[in-house]
């Protein structure tokens, strides 16, 4: 059982070495710290620096509805994801049960499921890249909305079904949607940011996503313990569903902005 973990860790170490050697960073100027080079920043100074950055981000976001919406969408993406990531495997094992096909072990079954999910996700991402323009904000938002709606639907099916084939199909559908949401969300966010604030807002978006996972995971865990794993997975779909309303609102704003720009050009 330890061999796959050791192999995975070794591959990550090799990947890190490869990145250090072949992907150096150029043009980056670190912020000057007023500390002695021999001692380096203290833990308190690191926390103070983080708080300063967070406050600067809040001041930037305050009074800008577009940025508030961006962070709100990131929050809901984080709220649903932690519970699903922790509960989909016990749901398949306990509530649905894996079929006894050729005496395959649980490890092999999940290896097969994840490999197929990765291949389907990569293929779908490549197809979307060729057919859809992420630089077009309307296309990016429509792609986000469509994939989020399918994701909510897939979560509901996965939570309620007891049929293995249907559960497997819905899980793969969920994996594809999650893979497509990430790059299009980033592309849409970047359309609303200037270069001087992009790093700060993207960092805040990641922090909000992490806070969502921290908050959503225990909530869904309590539901799973008190009721059932399917109930917690259904709760995951419910936590994600407000994203659809926010994306509809964002699409209307983008449409209004586009119409105003076209009228000015005319």
Specify if 12 maps to a domain. Answer: no
Specify if 24 maps to a domain. Answer: no
Question: For residue 30, how many other CB atoms are within 10 A of its CB?
Answer: 5
pLDDT digits (tens, 9 = 90+) for 26-50: 766 665 555 555 555 566 766 776 6
What does pTM read for this prediction? 0.77
- Rounded distance between C-alpha atoms, residue 185 and residue 196, angstroms: 20
At 38, is the secondary structure helix, strand, or coil?
coil
Specify if 20 maps to a domain. Answer: no
* Interior angle at CA 110, CA 105 and CA 115, nearest 5: 130
Per-residue tokens: 119: 């291949």
Specify if 116 maps to a domain. Answer: yes
Residue carrying structure tokens 């704003």: 253
* Percentage of the chain lying above the pLDDT 70 cut: 79
- Per the CB < 8 A criterion, the answer to whether 244 and 145 are in contact is yes
Predicted confidence (pLDDT) at residue 233 exceeds the cutoff of 60: yes
Higher pLDDT: 221 or 62? It is 221
Specify if 171 maps to a domain. Answer: yes
- Rounded distance between C-alpha atoms, residue 50 and residue 62, angstroms: 18
pLDDT digits (tens, 9 = 90+) for 1-27: 678 788 888 999 999 999 888 887 776
Q: What is the dihedral of CA 254, 260, 261, 262, to 10 degrees?
A: 110
pLDDT digits (tens, 9 = 90+) for 151-171: 999 999 999 999 999 999 999
Specify if 39 maps to a domain. Answer: no
Specify if 262 maps to a domain. Answer: no
- Rounded distance between C-alpha atoms, residue 186 and residue 183, angstroms: 5
For residue 185, which of 170, 214, 206 has the smallest C-alpha distance? 206
* Mean pLDDT across the chain: 81
Number of structural domains in the chain: 1
Predicted confidence (pLDDT) at residue 202 exceeds the cutoff of 90: no
Range of the domain at 168: 64-257
Predicted confidence (pLDDT) at residue 263 exceeds the cutoff of 60: no
- Per the CB < 8 A criterion, the answer to whether 174 and 155 are in contact is yes
Query: What CATH number did the domain enclosing 253 receive?
Result: 1.20.1250.20
Specify if 55 maps to a domain. Answer: no
């Amino acid at each position: 059982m330890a061999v796959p973990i050791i192999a995975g860790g070794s591959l990550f170490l090799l990947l890190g070495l490869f990145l250090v050697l072949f992907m150096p960073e150029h043009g980056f100027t670190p912020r000057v710290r007023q500390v002695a080079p021999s001692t380096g920043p203290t833990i308190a100074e690191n926390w103070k620096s983080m708080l300063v950055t967070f406050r600067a981000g809040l001041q930037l976001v305050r009074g800008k509805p577009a940025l508030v919406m961006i962070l709100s969408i990131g929050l809901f993406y984080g709220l649903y994801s932690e519970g699903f990531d922790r509960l989909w495997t016990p749901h398949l094992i306990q509530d649905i049960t894996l079929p006894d096909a050729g005496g395959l072990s649980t490890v092999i079954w999940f290896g097969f499921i994840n490999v197929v999910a990765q291949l389907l996700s990569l293929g779908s991402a490549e197809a979307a890249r060729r057919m859809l323009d992420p630089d077009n904000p309307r296309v990016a938002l429509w792609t986000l909305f469509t994939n989020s709606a399918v994701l909510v639907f897939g979560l509901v099916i996965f939570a309620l079904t007891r049929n293995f084939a249907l559960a497997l199909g819905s899980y793969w559908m969920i994996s594809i949607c999650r893979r497509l949401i990430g790059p299009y969300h980033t592309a849409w966010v970047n359309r609303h940011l200037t270069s001087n604030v992009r790093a700060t807002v993207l960092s805040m978006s990641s922090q909000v996503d992490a806070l969502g996972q921290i908050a959503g995971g225990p909530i869904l865990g309590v539901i799973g313990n008190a009721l059932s794993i399917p109930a917690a997975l259904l709760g995951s779909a419910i936590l994600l569903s407000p994203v659809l309303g926010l994306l509809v609102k964002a699409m209307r704003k983008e449409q209004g902005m586009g119409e105003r720009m076209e009228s000015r050009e005319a």
